[in-house]
Structure 1
């Protein structure tokens, strides 16, 4: 049985659908914190069980009988994320999983300036030391992140963000399909994968130009200093910890941490990856 955690989230829900394209529903299980949110999956024959990384004792039931477990990285702030991921990995191993898969990131590093990459690096290291076959899916930077910034830009005509650098903007749908292939097919991806990215690198100035072209309105990229941007973000209602978190992303980008592309994703999909233009056009 394939067990997928976080199956009602933005990435996990897509992965489940792509897995169901390849595997009978009776061979798929999901581990979710709120089983009522997965009622439609249960109706389709998917095994739905409650599981929470912060309550490891309950994961034994959620992962029971699993041959493969996909652990979607915990969306927890701070050091708790690593502990939660490791608890889920331990539970998958104890359940007898023959392969453990984990949603990592192409910039996973112990010295990254962007906090989630530290979590991914620590989780990868732990996985690699278990002696169990594993796959760390080094996903490209989620293109959906752009949505946090472009709404205001369309209204004001200005995309105001700190100094950045190129990003490997990659679609959730493409990454979900890649994860489903890795779950359903033997020998496709093993160990830490190459970066699973779309083929183009774009900074926010390039994104503003695409948005201008799509909307017919000039969107100007305005560079704000880090302190200036943070003050404005907090004044606008963003919690200070969230502003600091976001600044880490921009600082990592200008250090070049996300300036990586690789053909592995497109080869795995057997087609071109979705471009930022395509995704923005769909959103509009």
Structure 2
């Protein structure tokens, strides 16, 4: 049985939908913190069980009979959260092994690095080391940076007409739907051991490029205004944004300036059999959805 954790989240649910196109529903199980939110999957024949990364016993029940386990990474808010997040991942890896799974698939990131300025990348790199030392076969999905984050950053600018942020660098923005399709392909075909190539969108675009595309799609000008890291911090603090969140945002800009997310790779296109969605396509889909 293929077990998917975090199946109530955006990526986890999308992976389940893709798996349902490839394998019978009875061969899929989901591990979720709130089974009630996954009732629709249960009605379609998917096995739904409660699983909490802070509760090994619940995971053991959720992973029962697993042949493969997709561990959708836990979210962290900053460096202080990394130890807890790593413990959660260790528990999930250990439980998958005890359940008899032959392989763990993990949702990592193209910028995974123990020295990154962006805390989630340290989290991913440490988890990949756990997997490497676990003795279980694994595939680490080096996912491109989620395009949904760019949509969040441009969202306020669409209202104000200004995107105010520090200097940045090109990012290979990637659609959740494409990454979910790739994950399902890898799980069902058991391609790639260890780290995958970077699974990225078709082009790397910086904030200036995002503003230009957004202006073209909307038919009105959005301005890109560059401020210093310190001024950005002060602006965020004046808006009541928590310090940990501010540090995360500044870390992302620092990492992008260093080119950590700029590499474009054809691996995702090969996996899904078509060109990945561009940022322009993702933006248009988002606008259409909001208007609908």
What range is the shorter-chain TM-score in?
Answer: over 0.9
TM-score for the superposition, normalised by structure 2: 0.95
Q: Deviations over 1:130-157 (max 9, x none)?
A: 2221100000000000122212211221
Q: Which residue of 2 aligns with 1:260?
A: 263
Q: Which residue of 2 aligns with 1:205?
A: 208
How many correspondences in the alignment?
283
> How far is 1:7 from its partner?
0.1
Q: Deviations over 1:96-120 (max 9, x none)?
A: 0001000000010111110001010
Q: In the aligned structure 2, how far is the partner of 1:70 from the partner of 1:56?
A: 16
> How far is 1:38 from its partner?
0.5
TM-score for the superposition, normalised by structure 1: 0.98
Q: Deviations over 1:14-55 (max 9, x none)?
A: 001000010111000000001111011111110000001111
3-state SS, counterpart of residue 108 of structure 2: strand
Q: Which residue of 1 aligns with 2:284?
A: 281
Q: Which residue of 2 aligns with 1:149?
A: 153
Q: Which residue of 1 aligns with 2:219?
A: 216
Q: Which residue of 2 aligns with 1:272?
A: 275
Superposed CA RMSD in Å reads 0.9
Q: In the aligned structure 2, how far is the partner of 1:21 from the partner of 1:134?
A: 23
Q: In the aligned structure 1, how far is the partner of 2:130 from the partner of 2:222?
A: 44
3-state SS, counterpart of residue 129 of structure 1: helix
Q: Does 1:57 align with 2:60?
A: no
> How far is 1:281 from its partner?
1.2
Stretches of structure 1 that go unaligned for 5 or more consecutive residues are: none
Q: In the aligned structure 2, how far is the partner of 1:245 from the partner of 1:155?
A: 23
Q: Which residue of 1 aligns with 2:195?
A: 192
Q: Which residue of 2 aligns with 1:114?
A: 118
3-state SS, counterpart of residue 73 of structure 2: coil
Q: In the aligned structure 1, how far is the partner of 2:221 from the partner of 2:29?
A: 47
Q: Which residue of 2 aligns with 1:225?
A: 228
3-state SS, counterpart of residue 11 of structure 1: helix
Q: Deviations over 1:44-92 (max 9, x none)?
A: 1100000011111221101000000000011244121111111101100
Indicate conservation of the 8 Å contact 2:93/2:134, yes or no. no
Q: In the aligned structure 2, how far is the partner of 1:6 from the partner of 1:153?
A: 31
3-state SS, counterpart of residue 258 of structure 1: coil
Structure 1 residue ranges (4+ consecutive) displaced by more than 3 angstroms after TM superposition: none
Q: Which residue of 1 aligns with 2:99?
A: 95
Q: Deviations over 1:144-194 (max 9, x none)?
A: 0012221221122111111110101000000000011111113x2221101
3-state SS, counterpart of residue 135 of structure 1: strand
Q: Deviations over 1:193-238 (max 9, x none)?
A: 0100012010000000000111111111100111111111122231
Q: In the aligned structure 1, how far is the partner of 2:184 from the partner of 2:72?
A: 13
Stretches of structure 2 that go unaligned for 5 or more consecutive residues are: 288-292
Aligned to 1:234, which of 232, 237, 244?
A: 237
Q: In the aligned structure 2, how far is the partner of 1:174 from the partner of 1:234?
A: 35
